[in-house]
């Protein structure tokens, strides 16, 4: 993934993608065709295996999170329960 942040929180998102998740490159504030060409080459040739490994690890974590008992699954289940409880407490017309 090549990130070229433009507005507000995109700079933070771009930094997370490139430095934390390690699944892409941050273009910073520069965008000319020579730099873009180098970055595309890095993504699809030079660092292809590195990014693929990071993406695979992230996919495993996501699968665990959304599986029964995972954090996202549990949080969504909890939200649904809270909404159901609130709807039962609300007087019906």
Q: Do 35 and 66 lie in a common domain?
A: no
Angle at 70 between CA 67 and CA 71, to 5 degrees: 135
Containing structural domain, residue 14? 1-46
Helix count and strand count (H, E) for the chain:
4, 2
pLDDT at 81 over 90: yes
Q: Do 14 and 53 lie in a common domain?
A: no
**Residues 9-22, mean pLDDT to the nearest whole number:** 91
Q: Do 92 and 62 lie in a common domain?
A: yes
Q: Do 2 and 42 lie in a common domain?
A: yes
Residue 74 is predicted with a pLDDT of 97
pLDDT tens sequence across 23-72 = 999 988 777 889 889 999 999 999 999 999 999 999 999 999 999 999 99
Q: Do 54 and 36 lie in a common domain?
A: no
pLDDT at 7 over 90: no
Domain count for the chain: 2
């Amino acid at each position: 993934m090549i990130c070229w942040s433009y507005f507000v929180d995109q700079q933070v998102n771009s930094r997370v993608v490139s430095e934390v998740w390690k699944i892409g490159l941050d273009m910073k504030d520069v965008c000319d065709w020579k730099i873009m060409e180098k970055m595309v080459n890095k993504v699809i040739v030079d660092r292809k295996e590195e990014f693929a490994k990071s993406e695979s690890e992230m996919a495993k974590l996501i699968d665990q999170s959304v599986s029964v008992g995972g954090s996202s699954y549990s949080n969504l289940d909890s939200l649904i329960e809270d909404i159901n409880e609130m709807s039962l407490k609300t007087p019906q017309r």
